[in-house]
């Protein structure tokens, strides 16, 4: 699998800036008021960590798109 895109989807809940994603993968995620994905983030290099952060988001507002 190869992650193509990661984004914040607040359609069902709002990011409350817990910083878990940033703590787990600071190379990809940044949190100030809410989560953002760094523009130069290398998803391929940190793929497992990114998926772990997404799956462990307490309100599940981080989404991703991947290819096989």
Any idea what the CATH number is for the domain that residue 61 is in? Answer: 3.30.70.20
Retrieve residue 56's tokens.
């462990």
Q: What's the total number of domains in the chain?
A: 1
Q: In a structure prediction context, what are the per-residue pLDDT tens digits for the chain, which is 68 residues long?
A: 899 999 999 999 999 999 999 999 999 999 999 999 999 999 999 999 999 999 999 999 999 999 98
Distance between CA atoms of residues 38 and 59, nearest Å: 20
Going by their DSSP bridges, the two strands 2-8 and 35-37 should be labelled as unpaired
Domain that holds residue 25: 2-67
pLDDT of residue 11: 95
pTM above 0.85, yes or no: yes
Cα-Cα end-to-end distance for the chain: 4
């Amino acid at each position: 699998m190869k992650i193509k895109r990661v984004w914040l989807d607040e359609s069902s809940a709002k990011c409350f800036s817990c910083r878990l994603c940033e703590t787990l993968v600071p190379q990809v995620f940044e949190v100030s008021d809410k989560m953002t994905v760094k523009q130069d983030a290398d998803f391929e290099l940190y793929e497992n960590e990114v998926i772990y952060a997404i799956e462990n988001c307490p309100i599940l507002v981080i989404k991703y798109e991947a290819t096989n």
